[in-house]
Structure 1
Amino acid sequence: MPATTGSNQIHTDIVIPSPKSLTVASLMGAIALAAPVHAASDSSQSGTWQASSGIDYSSGSYGDDADTNILFIPASISYQRGASTTKLTVPWLRIEGPGSVVGGGDSGVVTGGMEAVDASGLGDIWLQQSFAVDAIPSDWFYLDLVGKVKFPTADEAKGLGTGAFDYTVQLDFFKPLGKLSPMATLAYKIKGDPDGSDLNNVFYTSIGADYRLTDSVNFGTTLDYQEASSASSDDAIEVFSYLGYKASESTLLTFYTYFGLTDGSPDLGGGIQCRYEF
C-alpha cells in the first residue's frame, strides 16, 4: 500500500477496511515497487501531490444471524515533501445489516445489539500526518511515524459513525531484501465514546511481506490483528492479500482481497484502489 518518492518516506495509499487503518494497516500497495527509491537520498525541495480513490466491499455476520454488507468508497489527497507527508481522506459508505457494525473503513466498530440499518452517506473524514525517520541506518530497516485523527462527520443517527473523534499513533516498518520486503505495523487507537457506549482503546498489529515480481508488478500478504473495542465483539483477525500494477510512472493500481478468521472481522471482502501522482 505504500509508495515512496525519495527519502525513507512510506506513503500509505491503500485504504483498507476494518480493522485496517485504511492502517494500513499498513504497509500495503506498492512497497516493492518503491523500495529502490527508498535507498536514494531526497535532494528535491519541491513537493509531490498524490490523489487516490477506490471501492471496497465486505460482507460478514460478525457473530449475528444475518450478514452486514458494507460498500466503502474513499477519496484521498496527499502532499509529500522531504520526510513529511500529509493526507486527507473523505469516504462515502453504505451499510446494510442488523446493526452489528457502526461505520466503515478504519472507523468501523463492531458493537452488536443495535437496530437494523440500511443507510448511506458521508463517512468519517481522516487526517493523517507521517514522518520518515532518517536517523535509522537504511541497512537496518525503514520506519515511519504516523499520527491520525478521525473527524466525526458521519451521521451517527444512521449508524454510519460513532459521532466521536478517534486518534491513532502508529509505527510502520519495512526492510527491502532484494525483491522481498518484510513489513510490519504497530498502532494504538484511542476510541471516542458514542452516546450510551463506552468503547475500549485498542492495539493493532500487522505482519507480512511484499514481493516485487517485475518492475511493474508486485504482490503481498499480511496477517492483521486488532483488539475488540467493545465487550460484545471478538478481536479481529484478518488475512489480506494484494496485487499491485504500475500502469505508468504516475499511476498505480492495486487489487486486493481479505477474509476474516473471527467474528470481529468480515467474512470476505475485496476492492480496487487507483493512485495518481502529479
Structure 2
Amino acid sequence: MLDGFRKLSWLVFLSGIVLLPATVLAGEPLLTFGAGFEFTSGDYGTATRTNSVYAPVTIGFNPSDRLGLSLEIPYVYQSNTNVIAGQFRQMQGQQMGMQSVAGAMAGPGSGAGMGNNSLRSSANSDPSKAQSGIGDIILKAGYVLFQESDFLPQVRPAVSVKVPTADKNKGLGTGEFDEGVSVELSKWFGDWYTFLEPGYTIQGKSADLSLKNYVSCNGGFGYQVTDNFRPMLIIKGSSALADGLTELLEARLKLKYQATPHTGIEGYLAKGITTSSPDYGTGIAVFYDF
C-alpha cells in the first residue's frame, strides 16, 4: 500500500509537469522567485546545543489560479550533527513562501528537530564538527479543488516529494526519498484569514535511522491590518519522526508585507514547545512575482 502511495505521489507531480504547457496556453503564467534565510537553535534533549541555518531558493510557477508547481533548493549549515537537518528543515522551508507559492504549493509540514543521540550514526564524520552543503530538494504540486464561497472554505490538496540531495554522511539529510500529501483549508472572515492543513508523510527506509511515517497539522489565523500588511499566529506540529523522539510542536508569529505589487517580504519568530523542537527560531524571505 505504501509503495502504491509513493507511485501515486510521483504520478501526480509528473502529470502536472506534462500538462503544464497546455495549461499555460490557457492563461497568463505567474513565476515567483524567492530567497530566504532561517536560523534555529536548540538542544533537542541532548547536552549539546545545535545552531542551524537554512537558506532556500524557491521557484514557483502558477500557470492558473488553481494549479501550482514549485522547486525549492536549500543551502544548509549546522554547528554539529546531533540532529538531521533534512527532517526539520523540510517543514520550515515550505512555510516561508508567499501565498501565491506556499498557499498553492505547501506540502505537508514536518516537525522540527531530530534530537536523539542515536541519530548520530547517520553521519560518518565527527558529530561535534560543523557541516554545511546543499540540502534536500523539495518538489511540490498543488491544485485548488474547490474555491472559497460564502459558507465553505477553499480546499487545496497538494503532494510533495523530498529528493535526497543532502549529504547523509555530513548529517545534512537522511539520504532517503520522502513523499507526502496534505489538504489546506482556508477562509476569509472579513479582514480575518484562517487556515488548517493536515498532512501525512511517508519517510524512506534507512538502515541507520529508525524513521517513521508521520501525521502533521499546521493551522493559524491572521488579520489584514492594511492592504499590504498581515500579522499571523501559526501553530505547527506533527507526530514523532523517528523512534525514541517526542512529538513536534512550535508556535510562530509571522509577518507578511507586500512592499510593491511584485515584491513580498515575510519574517517570523518561532518558539519550540516540545523536546524535539528547536528552542527558538527566526527567518526572513523575499519573493518577487514576474
Question: Could you tell me the TM-score, scaled by structure 2's length?
Answer: 0.77
1:198 Cα offset (Å): 2.7
Change (3 A) 1:66 1:133: same
Runs of at least 5 residues in structure 1 that lack an aligned partner in the other structure: 1-43
Q: Distance in 2 between matches of 1:51 and 1:64?
A: 37
Runs of at least 5 residues in structure 2 that lack an aligned partner in the other structure: 1-25, 92-111, 121-126
Change (3 A) 1:212 1:193: same
1:159 Cα offset (Å): 0.4
Contact conserved, 2:44 with 2:113, CA < 8 A, in 1?
A: no
Q: Distance in 1 between matches of 2:224 and 2:233?
A: 12
| 2:36 paired residue among 43, 46, 54 | 54
Change (3 A) 1:167 1:138: farther
Instruction: Give a deviation string over 1:114-171, Cα, whole Å, max 9, x none.
Output: 2334100000000000000136645311111110000000000000010000011011
Larger proportion of helix = 2
Letter in 1 for 2:90: D
> In the alignment, what sits opposite 2:116?
112
Q: Distance in 1 between matches of 2:248 and 2:214?
A: 11
| 2:196 paired residue among 169, 180, 184 | 184
Contact conserved, 1:99 with 1:117, CA < 8 A, in 2?
A: no
> In the alignment, what sits opposite 1:38?
none
Q: Distance in 2 between matches of 1:169 and 1:207?
A: 16
> In the alignment, what sits opposite 1:93?
76
Q: Distance in 1 between matches of 2:83 and 2:242?
A: 11
Equivalent position SS for 1:248: coil
Contact conserved, 1:101 with 1:112, CA < 8 A, in 2?
A: no
Change (3 A) 1:52 1:182: same
> In the alignment, what sits opposite 1:148?
160
* 2:228 pairs with 1:193: no
Contact conserved, 1:183 with 1:210, CA < 8 A, in 2?
A: no
Question: Could you tell me the TM-score, scaled by structure 1's length?
Answer: 0.80
Instruction: Give a deviation string over 1:19-77, Cα, whole Å, max 9, x none.
Output: xxxxxxxxxxxxxxxxxxxxxxxxx7111100111100000010011111110000010
- For residues 31-46 of structure 1, the aligned pairs below 5 Å read 45-46=27-28
Larger proportion of strand = 1
Change (3 A) 1:98 1:50: closer
Letter in 2 for 1:159: G
Bigger mean CA offset, 194-203 vs 66-75: 194-203
Identity over aligned pairs, percent = 26
1:264 Cα offset (Å): 1.2
> In the alignment, what sits opposite 1:160?
172
1:197 Cα offset (Å): 2.2
Give the RMSD, CA atoms, in angstroms.
1.6
Q: Kindly report structure 1 stretches of 4+ aligned residues shifted beyond 3 Å.
A: 135-139
Change (3 A) 1:205 1:67: same
Aligned residues: 235
